[in-house]
Amino acid sequence: MVARSSINSLIFRLTLKIIPVIPLFIQVLYWGWLLSLFALADPDSSFLTGSGRQLLCDPLHSLYRDQFSWTLSSYGGGPFVKYQWLSEVIFASVYSLGGPLMQVILVGFLALLVFIFLPFQYAYIQDAYKSRRAYLNLVWLFVGALALNGSFFHIYLRPELFTLVLLSFLFSFDLAKIKRPRLAYTLAFFLFVFSANLHAGFVLGLLYLLLLLVHASFFEREKLKMRAILVLISTLGCLINPYGFSLFAYLPKLFFAKVNQYIVELLPLTTRDLFTSEYLPFFWLIVLTALIVIVSLFLAEPRRRVCHSLPLIVFSSALTASAFLHRRMVVFACLSLLYVVLAALKSESVGKKSEVGTKSGVDKLLLIAGCLFCLVFGANFSAATFKLVLPMATIGFQPPFQALDLIKNERPAGNLLNDPQYGDVMIEKLGTKAQVFIDTRFDAYPYDLIRDFHTMAAGKEGWASLIDKYKIDWVFLNEDYPLVKLIKTRGFTEIYHGQGACILVRDVRADLKGSGG
């Protein structure tokens, strides 16, 4: 009877822990289902997987010269720096292990790690005020879900996910508070060694550590030395990459390239955009964060709380402002706003002498296991309903798989002019045989070449002379490009038209006739 009573008591306690997070599990189930449709929808994911596959086959050549574009080998684009090579290797390896479905699960796991698991570890409270504990933990889970929903429009199989993991880790764990400094320095060093090889966003992590150092010089003098060493060690860790200091020298070209003004995800965010389905969660997260921070200032010890959270507030404000300038930054802004809310609520609990950060293995295990189960189940269910491929088709992009089969079996001879997104898919499907004119690695190509592509594709003045300049022999473009119709007047014949794509080949007989005339 005693054993049975204990089991019933355990079941009752577990039920009380599970019921509050059921809405989160339902949300994660939906995320898993949705990720199978959209996580692989960005053509960049195709290039990253194809490039990673080539890195695994031929690492030395792949790291230091491009193998996919005939224009880069002919016209060059400055120093070649594959600044996210480790991400590419990971994506290709995951694909080889479990195909597109495993890539979707990887994206989902990293998203949960960033927006749910690490924030929950940072903010979880198990205090004497049990009635408040459940309420606050539910608030944090709700805000985490809101932040992930605000970021969902840009949660793709892309290296930015690893930068989000870096930032979430730095927000969750203050390395300067680790009692064993050598452990903190070792952790920081290897954290940035990996981050610098995963994605160029590692500079955001360095900037945050630098902001903590500046804060320590004014408010936490006792931590000033340790924070300074952490910045130095982290910077040295970033130099452990195949390019050394050249990686840092390449970043201005990446971040401030002229072509960035034409990239949609780098365009400014307008007020009208905030009230669309993609950005509305971001808007409400801004409002909620502002309200919670303002209210928290009036509860207890506002000066101590503001000083403690000042670096995070400043960093979050900068990221939020940058999100309005470049909409790609919305994801990073959502993450930082989430932690501002958590810091405010956590500080409020500390003010009431709660026991913060106490480990509760059962709660964390239930949360992680439940979320992962729902994620995998939702992704599998969606994959079984819809055919999962890389890349997935969307309203804005239809992968031309039939055209790629034609090219693979009987590739037209000569120089290719192609759509950049088609170039991404060609690289994944054809490897080094792709030999594209251009792809979406716009930072790797000379600006003049990118400008010339747009002139040709749009049929602007001078397009015909550019076709001759680059000695274009065949064209692989979306049917909506004006060039598709215009180029037929230059002796090009259409050999394929389907799935929104067209392939046109130069008619040799027309060239010979023109030469004879």
- Write out pLDDT tens, residues 500-513: 999 999 986 555 44
Amino acid at 167: L
Task: Tell me, yes or no, whether 361 and 408 share the same domain.
Answer: no
Residue 158 CA, distance from chain mean position: 4
Task: Tell me, yes or no, whether 427 and 361 share the same domain.
Answer: no
Average pLDDT on 431-453 reads 94
Task: Tell me, yes or no, whether 373 and 487 share the same domain.
Answer: no
Q: Where are the alpha helices (DSSP H) in 199-296?
A: 202-219, 224-238, 246-255, 280-296
Question: In this model, does residue 348 exceed pLDDT 70?
Answer: no
| Ranges 5-9, 11-15, 354-358, 497-501, most confident | 497-501
* Contact criterion met (CB below 8 Å) for 191 and 233: no
Alpha-carbon distance values, 457 to 185, 334, 462, 468 (Å) = 52, 36, 11, 14
Q: Which domain holds residue 483?
A: 401-516
Q: What is residue 359's predicted lDDT score, i.e. its pLDDT? A: 44
- Indicate whether 282 belongs to any domain: yes
* Contact criterion met (CB below 8 Å) for 292 and 344: yes
Task: Tell me, yes or no, whether 377 and 408 share the same domain.
Answer: no
Element (H, E) at 49: helix 43-57
Q: What is residue 257's predicted lDDT score, i.e. its pLDDT? A: 82
- Indicate whether 77 belongs to any domain: no
Token digits of residue 278? 């993609």
Task: Tell me, yes or no, whether 312 and 407 share the same domain.
Answer: no
Task: Tell me, yes or no, whether 217 and 316 share the same domain.
Answer: yes
Which of 161, 176, 238, 247 is CA-nearest to residue 209?
176
Q: Which of 381, 414, 449 is the last residue of a domain?
A: 381
Whole-number average pLDDT of the chain: 87
Q: What is residue 135's predicted lDDT score, i.e. its pLDDT? A: 61
Task: Tell me, yes or no, whether 212 and 253 share the same domain.
Answer: yes
Task: Tell me, yes or no, whether 406 and 352 share the same domain.
Answer: no
Q: What is residue 95's predicted lDDT score, i.e. its pLDDT? A: 97
* Contact criterion met (CB below 8 Å) for 219 and 314: no
CB-count burial class (<10 Å; 0-12, 13-18, 19+) for 222: exposed
How far apart, in whole angstroms, are the C-alpha atoms of residue 337 and residue 186? 28
Amino acid at 73: S
Which of 154, 166, 164 is CA-nearest to residue 263?
154
- Indicate whether 69 belongs to any domain: no
Phi, psi of 393 (to 5 degrees): -80, 145
Q: What is residue 292's predicted lDDT score, i.e. its pLDDT? A: 86
How far apart, in whole angstroms, are the C-alpha atoms of residue 399 and residue 160? 23
Task: Tell me, yes or no, whether 275 and 335 share the same domain.
Answer: yes
Evaluate the omega torsion of the peptide bond into residue 391 and state whether it is cis, within 30 degrees of 0. yes
Residue 360 — very low, low, confident or very high, per pLDDT cuts 50/70/90?
low
Q: What is residue 355's predicted lDDT score, i.e. its pLDDT? A: 43
Residue 281 — very low, low, confident or very high, per pLDDT cuts 50/70/90?
very high
Alpha-carbon distance values, 91 to 53, 72, 101, 498 (Å) = 9, 24, 12, 30
Task: Tell me, yes or no, whether 167 and 116 share the same domain.
Answer: yes
- Indicate whether 391 belongs to any domain: no
What is the dihedral sign for C-alpha 255, 259, 262, 264? negative
Element (H, E) at 485: helix 483-486
How far apart, in whole angstroms, are the C-alpha atoms of residue 416 and residue 422? 12
- Indicate whether 111 belongs to any domain: yes
Phi, psi of 472 (to 5 degrees): -70, 130
- Indicate whether 159 belongs to any domain: yes
Amino acid at 67: Q
* Contact criterion met (CB below 8 Å) for 379 and 104: yes
Q: Which of 319, 346, 381 is the last residue of a domain?
A: 381
Which of 115, 166, 167, 118 is CA-nearest to residue 144?
115
Q: Where are the alpha helices (DSSP H) in 130-159?
A: 130-151
Count the domains in the chain. Answer: 2
Question: In this model, does residue 451 exceed pLDDT 70?
Answer: yes
- Indicate whether 390 belongs to any domain: no
Amino acid at 334: C
Task: Tell me, yes or no, whether 371 and 430 share the same domain.
Answer: no
Question: In this model, does residue 140 exceed pLDDT 80?
Answer: no
* b/e burial code for range 464-486 (CB count within 10 A of at least 16 → b): eebbeebebbbbbbbeebebbeb
How far apart, in whole angstroms, are the C-alpha atoms of residue 141 and residue 104? 23
Element (H, E) at 337: helix 330-351
* Contact criterion met (CB below 8 Å) for 243 and 254: no
Considering only 115-119, 211-215, 246-250, 253-257, which range has the smallest mean pLDDT? 253-257
Token digits of residue 423? 């170039």
**CA atoms within 13 A of residue 143's CA, in its CB half-sphere:** 29
Average pLDDT on 494-504 reads 94
Task: Tell me, yes or no, whether 499 and 425 share the same domain.
Answer: yes
Considering only 43-52, 91-100, 117-126, 356-365, which range has the smallest mean pLDDT? 356-365
**pTM listed for this prediction:** 0.91
How far apart, in whole angstroms, are the C-alpha atoms of residue 108 and residue 99? 15
- Indicate whether 91 belongs to any domain: no
